[in-house]
Structure 1
Amino acid sequence: MEMITDQFIFDWNDLFKAFLSLGAGFLLGFEREWKDKSAGFKTISIICLGSTLFSILSMKLGAGESEDATRIASYVVSGIGFLGAGVIFKDGVNVNGLTTASIIWMSAAVGMAIGFGMFITAIIFLGACFSIIISGPILNRYVLRNLVKVVTVKFDSHQLSGKEDFIEDIRPLTKQLKIKNQTLNKEGLVLVLEVLIDKGNIRSFENRIMAHHSISEVSL
């Protein structure tokens, strides 16, 4: 009975874990908040803090020779998936929220590491994750310049002959061009294109499409 009671004595180390977890969650969520994403620093800080608490409880309640000290914390891994899935949504052919979901998943992992007292490991992985968050847009802007775009254009029934001219007109501005879908009806032809394009050519590419006389509608 004395051993069980000792498990619930307040430990100042738990307070340190709480503040460290709060700071880690704030750091991971700051970039999401700055970009006005669905999960900002408040949400991610609470997730990190909650993961730390579950880890602490798992150690305290699961202590003993025949008990598993990770039995509570193990459900954090599966439970965090529901929160991550909630921020992922599909908008047409685009999938949004993957980065936010990944940060939520990482914040739970860092929070668990703090809760189990693995401070150095938590700081290393927190720094690695934050460096990716910061350097990602820079690499994407100056190094990874290729961009995949889906373009949907409509040709009226009397302008169907302009399809080939349109494709040949925009092809020089792309690195790769594929026809993903064609729908022909009484109103005309709807053409869905997938293009690989250099980011520096986007404005010229869009202007070339908008200036083409044979299309009646366009979606970029």
Structure 2
Amino acid sequence: MLSQWDIIIRLVLAVVLGGMIGLERERLHVGFRTYSAGFRTHILVCLGAALAMVVSVQIHYEFRGDAARIAAQVVSGIGFLGAGAILREGFVVRGLTTAASLWVAASIGLAVGGGYYLAATLGTLLVLFALVILGTIEDYVRGKRHQGRLRVMLENDPAAVQRVGELLEAMGATVRHLEIQRVSADYQMLVLALRLPAGINRIELLNRLAGLEGVCRVEHLND
């Protein structure tokens, strides 16, 4: 039977470890966009999984029930939440990494709830290594450092589109693909795939675009 302190330690550790993974997702916030599954979502997933595992352990000790049954439902149920983080934009599927991080956060929560502190902590460190270090290497290999995708909400005015094009040209960005979506009678959405010159400050680019007359919102799209 778990003591009160055992339960407190496990739930608090689940919040800490889940928050560490969630912070990594939040660090990709650029401009006005952030991941739908970020800091709080990862905490809730990890904490919920840990709580489910604690309940399973308690049921096992008190009623001699199957402690693995609730844990198995958590693993299968997290797939629905992960599916909500995956977005399809044309032929491109995005959010797979975030969905995977939610799944592994649930697994870490189960490990913490089961009392496997070393496995949960080491698992969190390995997840951060994969997301941060290996993610940087992956970006370098794919050459994404010199590419970018933007979504720009602006007034339904040809002059506003022209101002966006002039600014991108002035900063040396090359538009590889442009898609214009009509949002309403007053607003339209530009989705741009850009090739950016080496050394360009993306934050400056976003801020300058957001400051243009007629531009309402600028979002940097990422995986």
Matches within 5 A, 1:118-129: 118-129=116-127
TM-score scaled by length of structure 1: 0.60
Match of residue 95, structure 1, among 79, 93, 101: 93
Aligned AA (2:93):
V
Question: Is 1:30 the counterpart of 2:17 in the alignment?
Answer: no
Question: Secondary structure of the equivalent of 2:36?
Answer: coil
- Give the match for residue 185 of structure 1: none
Query: Aligned residues: percent identity?
Result: 35
The runs of 5 or more residues in structure 2 that have no matched partner are 29-33, 148-194, 198-223
CA deviation after TM superposition for structure 1 residue 70, in Å: 1.3
Match of residue 49, structure 2, among 44, 48, 51: 51
Q: Which is greater in Rg?
A: 1
Deviations 1:88-114 (A, max 9, x none): 121001101101100000100000000
Greater RCO structure (CA 8 Å; 6+ sep): 2
Match of residue 41, structure 1, among 36, 39, 44: 39
- Give the match for residue 69 of structure 1: 67
Matches within 5 A, 1:1-220: 7=1, 10-35=3-28, 36-63=34-61, 67-145=65-143, 202=195
The runs of 5 or more residues in structure 1 that have no matched partner are 1-6, 150-201, 205-220
Aligned AA (2:11):
A
Q: Distance in 1 between matches of 2:87 and 2:141?
A: 28
TM-score scaled by length of structure 2: 0.59
Aligned AA (1:91):
E
